[in-house]
Amino acid sequence: MSASAETPVREEHVERVVAPIEPPHGLGIAELSLALGGFAIGTAEFAAMGILPEMAGDLHVSIPQAGHMISAYAAGVVVGAPLITVLLARMPRRALLILLMLLYAIGNGASAIFHSYSLVLVSRFIAGLPHGAYFGLAALAAAALVPPHKRGAAIGKVMLGLSVANVIGVPVATWLGQGLGWQACFAAVAIIALVTAGMIAWSVPALPMSNKASPLTELGALGRPQVLLTLLASAVGFGGIFSVYSYVASTLTEVTHVASYHVPWALALIGVGMILGNMACGWLADRWLKRTMFGMYAFTAVILLVFVVAAPHLWAMLPILFCVGFGSACTPAFQSRLMDVAGDAQSLAAALNHSAFNIANALGAWLGGIVIAMGFGWIATGWVGAILAVLGIAVLMVSFSLDRKAA
């Protein structure tokens, strides 16, 4: 089936009708609890980019070196998502969600305590370990609480925590980092993670597990070409966003000439874009999944090219930052796609989506740092980002062509 012939229904397979699970205190509270974990994770992950200059100055390293802490966190996600999901495949999902939030609190608490570059680097790696597994399990939990035809919207609501973090959490954490020291940012996140663990224990029902759940079954996801292609598209295409986002604070101060204390407001625009993007992407993914994935990447490629021209001008930069956030919010679509193609290996595939997302984080930060260090300037990250987005589209085209051949 071609994308042009796609109709507003799920086209990949006929889903089994499964009655949604009733949360003890209502669906809204359960979704809020799961989203709060995303809020904590998003605040720590993206605020680190906003306070990168303060971290670099306090730890006596260059900004590109400080960017390695972003990469260390991303590496923790990449390692932790498959490792935790496979080793704890038979652990009840609600208990595992609580455990992951407790581990996230420990990692960020350690980041707030240490004052050595090498120790903070290790702490950021530890903080990244539960990230992917949490989002993967939270997405599956959200999907289990609603009818199958509403799962994209349900996943989008959980991911709203990540988006709201960019509107509220990241600006507040950036102000904390600038006013009280960057360690205050991570200390606040540790507290939020502890609150999330308690709320999940109170509001999320026990989630059923497949009788086939096992490390070996989950590893079966790695043998499915469409799973691997979807993950590759996520890792490459999202890298375009992070090549720009990782250095957006420095771009705003050095190229757009925005005062540092106004940077949080600019970052909040990205968050607003993410909120609207998540809502739109979740709704569209329930109707036209493939078109949504393709369209979001095409939109991102164009926006990142415009970023190169817009960066010196504040009036042009502000709407571009909003669009960068909007284009980055295609996680519900990719998560839905993985649910369609993963078979019995749902947990690992869902977690690996966030590993891929953070490979994109590391890849984008690394490539962006390279072009900056080579002297091409801060705006050169836009060229890198657009190229990565186009490569992501190419991988999606390969994946969708395989679907047509199989049909």
CB atoms within 10 A of CB 154: 24
Does residue 12 form part of some domain?
Answer: no
Estimate the crossing angle of helix 63-87 against helix 346-373, to 10 degrees.
Answer: 170
Q: Residue 155 domain-assigned?
A: yes
In a domain, 7, yes or no: no
Q: Whole domain around residue 255: which residue ranges? A: 21-406
Task: Quote the CA–CA distance of 326 and 299 in Å, as a whole number.
Answer: 9
Q: Tell me, what's the pLDDT at 215?
A: 65
CATH number of the structural domain spanning residue 327 = 1.20.1250.20
Q: Give the count of beta carbons closer than 10 Å to the beta carbon of residue 149.
A: 13
233 lies in some domain: yes
In a domain, 26, yes or no: yes
Instruction: Decide: 277 and 329 in contact? Cβ < 8 Å.
Output: yes
For residue 335, what pLDDT is reported? Answer: 78
Q: Is residue 220 included in any domain, yes or no? A: yes
What does the alpha-carbon distance between residue 305 and residue 300 come to, in Å, rounded to a whole number? 9
Q: What is the pLDDT along the chain (407 residues), one digit of tens a residue?
A: 444 444 444 433 333 445 667 777 778 888 889 999 989 988 887 777 767 777 777 777 777 777 778 778 878 887 888 888 878 877 888 889 999 999 999 999 988 888 788 898 899 899 989 988 898 888 888 888 877 777 777 777 887 787 787 778 877 887 787 778 888 888 989 999 999 999 999 988 887 665 555 565 666 666 678 888 988 998 888 888 888 888 888 888 888 888 877 777 777 788 788 888 878 877 787 788 888 888 888 998 999 999 988 888 888 888 999 988 888 777 778 877 887 777 666 777 777 777 787 788 778 888 888 888 888 888 888 899 899 999 999 999 998 888 777 76
Is the residue at 71 inside a domain? yes
Report how many domains make up the chain: 1
Q: Is residue 52 part of a domain?
A: yes
Cα–Cα distance for residue pair 330/333, rounded to 1 Å: 6
